[in-house]
Amino acid sequence: MNAIWQRWMLKPSWLLQVVFSVFLFFDAYFGLIHNKGIITSLGLLTGEIKWLTLFVEMMAGILLLVRIILNQIDIRWKSTVIIFTPIIVTLVGFVVLDFLLTGLGRSATLNFNLSSLGSSGLYWSAVYISIAIGLTITYKVQRFANFAQAEMMLFGAYVALTLMWSDRFFPISNAPKDGSLNWELIIWSGISAFIITGIIGLIIDKVVYKRFRNKMATPQVMMIASLGVSMVLRAILYMRFSASTHRFIPDRDWRLSTATFEIPTKQLQLHLGDRINAPLVDIVGNVNSYGFAYSKVALVVGIFGAIILLLFILHRTSLGRQMRAVADNSDLAASSGIHVERVHGSTAFLSSGISGLGGALLAAILPINPELGLTLLLPAFAIIVLGTIGSIPGVIIGSLIIGLLRATSEPVLIGAGNALDRPTATGFAEVMPFIFLIGLLLLAPRGIGSAIQDWNIKRIRKKRLSQQNKKSPNPQLNKVFILLNPLSDTLSQAIIYIYQVKQVINILMELIKKTIKTYSGLLKKCTLKLLAKIKFTGPSRTDILSGLRIKPSNWVRIKRETERGSWITFAILFLLLACIVWILPSVTTLTKVLQVARIITLVSIFSLACFSLNLHTGLTGMTNFGVIFFVGIGAVVVGLLSAPVATNGYGWNPFMATIVAVIISATIGWLLAYPTARLRMDYFAIVTIALGEVLRISLQAEPLLRAGTTTSAMGISQFSRPLESWWENGPSEMVGNLLGLNISAPYVVFLSIISALSVIVVWFILNTVLLSPWGRILRSIRDDEIVSQHHGHNILIHKAASLALGAAIAALAGALWAWLNTNVWPDFMNPVRTTFLIWAAFIVGGRGNNRGMIIGAFLIVIVEFIFNVMVVSRGSASLPFHNMTSYLDNVFSWLILNVGGIIWSDRSITEIFPKGDIILSLPHLKLALIGVVIVGTLLTSSKGLLPEVPSRPKRPSNSHSNLDKEGSSK
């Protein structure tokens, strides 16, 4: 026995994996078809959960097998196979679906209208690529994933709308139908969207990103800064154009039901599952032709045309060569005389411009509102990861694949969903790109683009080799070439002609450049003179300061980067925030108690989520954009398990449910490490944000994740909360008296006590853990993964442990969150309101410092409350801030009417503010403020309010006391 085992262990590990995966496959197969196998026999799972588990098991078995084949395959074939992985993944999906349906004895008919699929696929890929191409160019040259790219697209859309509302063009869009298409407005809006969005991108690049480049900021920092920028931009759009949807109508004839290209089509029927006398594939020939709307054609042609132009620029012009040079090595490019900043500027212009053009054309198809940006950004991220970030052919192929997948997923999900009693399954169409991406990354962690590049390099190499080996040209071929001679002559003539034209253009360009240079020089001189004068007359900063008798150097006495200093800063900031809580307005003692309890609970929830993020990102260095994923798992599991049995729940005790939720979340965190820990930083970020979205959509579309009501309505509600009846029958009255209420204290008071206790306990555990050698290992992984590996640490295990611990903490936050809201609704997982806020708290509070996390969370919650007070103050003159909000409104309306009015027409204002009074949307002002704070923090100190206290080895006692003295008294 032992000998056999020994021999097994000597086999290569992939063989074991093969056995494992084949076992998984057959176990699932027997489970599905014959109702036998390990999962079925255990009898733990029943009904829908059972077949879902078997479905996942079979999927995992097959994907693991494919992965082993990919790893073991000969290097010559590898890249070719990787390029075909999307098809493999799709086929695997179909096969497993067929097994599932056969096992259940159901049949599904999937209808594919071929022309509809093709044209819808093209439409979706055009939509996605207009963001993805900008993302990829930015990534290629500037090396960061730009969250603000979708907002550039929206800017383009709103440029088109503003143009439509202008006095010159409005008559065109408002003209009655006359049967003839008018091109004027759409062409002008495309061009101006490109230029104006490009200029906006350029300005943002020069104002924000240039400073980061000068500071040699890491891609991670720039990515987060771009998140802040995107918040500001989206908020601006919301404030100016409101949240309501608007359509861009280039001409009324564009959207007539007859304004389509009729494409003849065939309908393909796929019968899956229990096929009774039906073939697997059936072609229905006699179907109406498919109408491809003109506006969609305009988008597809416009975007792909622009991308071809872009490819031309990249490969045939000197600007393109410079861009590629900067992308490869910006230092080397600078030393060879390339003006790197200028290249960055043109990159920003081009990438934003193309997205803007896409936005303008998209506005003619979809009703536009600022919410659209985020919806389209995430699939675009999936595309660039799929096609290997920074690879342009990759992004084109990736977008075509994702577009086609998006178009195919709707008929598939409708067919399969109806067969499986899941008509809501269509909701998953939105997240299919992510599910597909995650499946693909398991197979090819570097994406398709790198495989394409490898394949291309090999092809070129082979071509060179065969050219070298070629001895004499084929005589027969020669004859053909002789015949072609006149053609080549004309061609060469034409090339010479084109070259001459190009020279003339170059001369003209030089001339224009020179003129601009002289004029700008003159302008510069003038402004310099003017500035000098101003400087001369105005008092300098030091004058003012000395006049006030303040010495700036003595302002900050506390060294925040020492242990004691950090504590003191923490105490001061905490007390300050607590004071603000104290003075927040309220009515009676009861409402004040409710308010404070709510603030304590919210701060605790956000602090726990921040702890989790800090562990993942601040200490281990994994950029986790899916905090809400783990929080959501906690909330969903707790809600489902403790909801009443009668309504689709499990009726557990909430404490047990919490423990199980924490364990499940930790397990998922641990497992997540295996496929993702070796991914690049940005891949990991995108995978985690995608997971959060997948969970949110599952809450919308999966009936198993609904509980608490008698019908199959959405959301999880009516779950029991911990010790609720004990509290209401016991101590609540006493606490109520203690707090000076006339009635017994509400449950939220108890919840706030539980939350505060959990924060303290988790904080203590984290501090103990992080002070241990393990904490230092995590930091070393963050600082330099390779060095840490050289020291003999198993990076994968440590990352997995960190992910698991963080996920467990986040799940606890999720449980508290579910108890506070008394329900888990899909909308609670909106990343703007959760993940991004948690990130803001993390950045502002101070990365790597748990004290900072609490301050950051506290700050975010207080800002929320203050802005709410401001929003509410509009309603009555007796409320605080009322005058301030009306003043803000006045400033805003002055900006819209008098400043902006120079650019846009009156109609564009009245369309948005139909009643004439221009009101500033304060919730969006808050969004902008948070964005500004993120960018500002990163730009100024980049370490946050409470920077990480560097852990130093203990020194001899006398020098240690010196250090302490410095920290406290200086």
Q: Supply angle C-alpha 855, 861, 862, rounded to 5.
A: 85
Q: Which of 212, 236, 215, 216 is nearest to 224 (CA)?
A: 212
- Report the relative pairing of strands 290-293 and 716-717 from DSSP bridges: unpaired
CB of 247 to other proteins, least distance (A): 6
Closer to other proteins at the Cβ: 403 or 967?
A: 403
**711 scored as a contact of other proteins (CB under 8 A):** yes
751-754 contacts at long range (C-beta below 8 A, 24 or more positions apart): 751/597, 751/601, 751/721, 751/816, 751/819, 751/820, 752/596, 752/597, 752/598, 752/600, 752/601, 752/604, 754/722, 754/816
Closer to other proteins at the Cβ: 585 or 950?
A: 585
From 11-19, 40-48, 424-432, 462-470, span contacting other proteins (CB under 8 A): 424-432
User: At 83, which amino acid appears?
Assistant: I
Subset of residues 133 to 192 that bind other proteins, contact rule: CB under 8 A? 177
Burial zone of 710 (CB within 10 Å; 0-12 exposed, 13-18 middle, 19+ buried): exposed
For residue 1, the tally of other CB atoms under 10 A from its CB is: 5
List the one residue from 37, 273, 417, 944 that touches other proteins (CB under 8 A): 417
**406 scored as a contact of other proteins (CB under 8 A):** yes
For residue 263, the tally of other CB atoms under 10 A from its CB is: 14
**700 scored as a contact of other proteins (CB under 8 A):** yes
List the one residue from 100, 327, 368, 444 that touches other proteins (CB under 8 A): 368
- Report the relative pairing of strands 260-263 and 290-293 from DSSP bridges: antiparallel
Subset of residues 912 to 951 that bind other proteins, contact rule: CB under 8 A? 914-915, 921-924, 927
CB of 464 to other proteins, least distance (A): 46
Binding residues for other proteins, total number by CB under 8 A: 106
Distance, in Å, from the CA atom of 965 to the CA atom of 823, rounded to the nearest integer, reads 51
Closer to other proteins at the Cβ: 240 or 344?
A: 240
Closer to other proteins at the Cβ: 417 or 856?
A: 417
From 31-39, 460-468, 561-569, 582-590, span contacting other proteins (CB under 8 A): 582-590
CB of 945 to other proteins, least distance (A): 23
**407 scored as a contact of other proteins (CB under 8 A):** yes
Distance, in Å, from the CA atom of 834 to the CA atom of 861, rounded to the nearest integer, reads 12
**667 scored as a contact of other proteins (CB under 8 A):** no
Closer to other proteins at the Cβ: 563 or 728?
A: 728
**750 scored as a contact of other proteins (CB under 8 A):** no
One DSSP character per residue, 835-892 reads HHHHHHHHHHH-TT-HHHHHHHHHHHHHHHHHHHHHHHHTT-TTSTTHHHHHHHHHHH
Closer to other proteins at the Cβ: 637 or 781?
A: 637
Annotate each residue in 804-823 with x if it binds other proteins (CB under 8 A) or - if it does not, as one string.
Answer: -------------x--xxxx
Among all chains, which residue has been given the structure tokens 């290992």? 777
Distance, in Å, from the CA atom of 966 to the CA atom of 17, rounded to the nearest integer, reads 58
For residue 770, the tally of other CB atoms under 10 A from its CB is: 18
The answer to whether the CB of 843 falls within 8 A of the CB of 224 is yes
Q: Which of 754, 445, 780 is nearest to 608 (CA)?
A: 754
CB of 708 to other proteins, least distance (A): 6
Distance, in Å, from the CA atom of 82 to the CA atom of 76, rounded to the nearest integer, reads 11
If phi > 0 it is left, if psi is from -120 to 50 it is alpha, else beta; for residue 338 that is: beta
CB of 275 to other proteins, least distance (A): 18
CB of 909 to other proteins, least distance (A): 14
Distance, in Å, from the CA atom of 77 to the CA atom of 451, rounded to the nearest integer, reads 11
Closer to other proteins at the Cβ: 508 or 645?
A: 645
Annotate each residue in 216-245 with x if it binds other proteins (CB under 8 A) or - if it does not, as one string.
Answer: ----------------------x---xxxx
The DSSP H or E segment spanning 292 is strand 290-293
Q: C-alpha distances in angstroms, 502 versus 158, 505, 513, 568? A: 36, 5, 16, 68
CB of 583 to other proteins, least distance (A): 12
Token digits for 124?
């979706």
List the one residue from 40, 85, 116, 330 that touches other proteins (CB under 8 A): 116
Find all residues with CB under 8 Å of 207, minimum gap 6, and list them: none
Closer to other proteins at the Cβ: 324 or 874?
A: 874
Closer to other proteins at the Cβ: 244 or 794?
A: 244
Subset of residues 830 to 849 that bind other proteins, contact rule: CB under 8 A? 830, 833
The answer to whether the CB of 688 falls within 8 A of the CB of 835 is no
The DSSP H or E segment spanning 112 is strand 107-113
Token digits for 221?
């920092």
Q: How many CA atoms lie within 13 A of 796 on its CB side?
A: 8
**709 scored as a contact of other proteins (CB under 8 A):** yes
Subset of residues 857 to 876 that bind other proteins, contact rule: CB under 8 A? 864-865, 868-869, 871-876
Closer to other proteins at the Cβ: 558 or 871?
A: 871
From 121-129, 331-339, 540-548, 618-626, span contacting other proteins (CB under 8 A): 121-129
**120 scored as a contact of other proteins (CB under 8 A):** yes
From 118-126, 159-167, 443-451, 538-546, span contacting other proteins (CB under 8 A): 118-126
Subset of residues 585 to 624 that bind other proteins, contact rule: CB under 8 A? 585-587, 590-592, 594-595, 598, 602
**458 scored as a contact of other proteins (CB under 8 A):** no
DSSP state of 339: -
Subset of residues 54 to 113 that bind other proteins, contact rule: CB under 8 A? 111, 113
From 2-10, 65-73, 122-130, 530-538, span contacting other proteins (CB under 8 A): 122-130
CB of 206 to other proteins, least distance (A): 30
Distance, in Å, from the CA atom of 418 to the CA atom of 411, rounded to the nearest integer, reads 11
**338 scored as a contact of other proteins (CB under 8 A):** no
DSSP state of 706: -
Q: Which of 607, 632, 664 is nearest to 804 (CA)?
A: 664
CB of 423 to other proteins, least distance (A): 3
**399 scored as a contact of other proteins (CB under 8 A):** no
List the one residue from 697, 803, 854, 935 that touches other proteins (CB under 8 A): 697
Q: Which of 581, 626, 587, 646 is nearest to 864 (CA)?
A: 581
CB of 612 to other proteins, least distance (A): 17
List the one residue from 328, 827, 906, 966 that touches other proteins (CB under 8 A): 827
**293 scored as a contact of other proteins (CB under 8 A):** yes
Subset of residues 425 to 444 that bind other proteins, contact rule: CB under 8 A? 425-427, 429-430
From 68-76, 404-412, 787-795, 802-810, span contacting other proteins (CB under 8 A): 404-412
Q: Which residues pair with 291 in a beta bridge?
A: 262
The answer to whether the CB of 937 falls within 8 A of the CB of 845 is no
CB of 182 to other proteins, least distance (A): 14
List the one residue from 434, 828, 836, 858 that touches other proteins (CB under 8 A): 828
Distance from the Cα of residue 123 to its chain's centroid: 22
**717 scored as a contact of other proteins (CB under 8 A):** yes
Distance, in Å, from the CA atom of 955 to the CA atom of 966, rounded to the nearest integer, reads 15
List the one residue from 468, 472, 878, 958 that touches other proteins (CB under 8 A): 878
From 72-80, 192-200, 247-255, 535-543, span contacting other proteins (CB under 8 A): 247-255
CB of 712 to other proteins, least distance (A): 5
**725 scored as a contact of other proteins (CB under 8 A):** no
Find all residues with CB under 8 Å of 213, minimum gap 6, and list them: 142, 344
